[in-house]
């Protein structure tokens, strides 16, 4: 599988792992200290080729993702969950993910919408048990995993679903898939 966009990763080990899974070019942030110079380079790359952000599912990775998202709203986002990006020693990172999970994440990447679509309500999230219930956290984890989006807490779930343009219909279908599992 060949990827047209530049894949943004944190370091050399991530680059090596991603390149084992797909044919691509990467941009390494070399940690969470994203300088203005790096952002300027990423803006040029985004304009010329497009970007897919694939950072670790930890605090530093989320911080990098948020900085890039604010600076380059057209960047796509690919996610791999903590469960799928952990090695035998418990270290979390893209370098620990399987080739299959990397490919799946890249196939299911999202671009945030500039104008948020709001056909999902907080009441629907409550009705589906995603907010305010004893099993809500587990359901949200399963939902985020199935949709291939970054895990989010109850307060941010509605925003994240709308930001990625996930429709009410897609949410209901995904919840049905989760129930069947």
What pLDDT was estimated at residue 117?
Answer: 64
Which domains, and CATH codes, for the chain? 2-107 (3.40.1360.10), 122-180 (no CATH)
Q: What is the pLDDT of residue 77?
A: 94
Answer for the pair 77, 112: CB distance below 8 angstroms, yes or no: yes
* Rounded distance between C-alpha atoms, residue 57 and residue 119, angstroms: 28
pLDDT below 50 — which residues of the chain? none
Q: What three-state secondary structure class fits 102?
A: helix
| Measured distance CA(168)–CA(176) in Å, rounded | 12
Tell me the C-alpha distance between 56 and 25, whole Å. Answer: 18
**Residue 108: helix, strand or coil by DSSP?**
coil
Interatomic CA distance for residues 63 and 108, integer angstroms = 21
Q: Which pLDDT belongs to residue 88?
A: 84
Is the pTM above the cut of 0.75?
yes
* Confidence at residue 32, expressed as pLDDT on a 0 to 100 scale: 78
Dihedral of the CA atoms 40, 45, 50, 51 (nearest 10)?
A: -60
Tens digit of pLDDT for each residue in 5-44? Answer: 999 999 999 999 999 999 999 999 997 778 999 999 999 9
Q: What was the pLDDT predicted at 76?
A: 95
pLDDT at 111 (0 to 100): 81
């Amino acid at each position: 599988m060949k990827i047209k966009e530049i894949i943004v990763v944190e370091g050399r080990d991530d680059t090596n792992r991603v390149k084992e899974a797909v044919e691509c070019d990467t941009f390494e942030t070399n940690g969470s200290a994203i300088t203005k110079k790096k952002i300027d380079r990423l803006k040029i790359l985004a304009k010329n080729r497009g970007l897919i952000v694939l950072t670790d599912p930890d605090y530093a990775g989320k911080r990098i993702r948020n900085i890039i998202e604010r600076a380059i709203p057209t960047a796509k986002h690919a996610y791999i969950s903590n469960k799928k990006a952990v090695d035998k020693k418990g270290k979390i990172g893209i370098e620990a993910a399987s080739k299959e999970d990397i490919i799946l994440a890249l196939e299911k990447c999202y671009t945030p919408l500039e104008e948020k679509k709001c056909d999902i309500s907080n009441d629907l999230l409550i009705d589906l048990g995603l907010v305010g219930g004893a099993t809500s956290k587990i359901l949200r984890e399963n939902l985020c995993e199935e949709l291939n989006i970054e895990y989010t807490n109850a307060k941010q779930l509605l925003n994240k679903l709308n930001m990625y343009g996930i429709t009410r219909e897609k949410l209901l279908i995904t919840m049905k898939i989760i129930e069947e599992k």
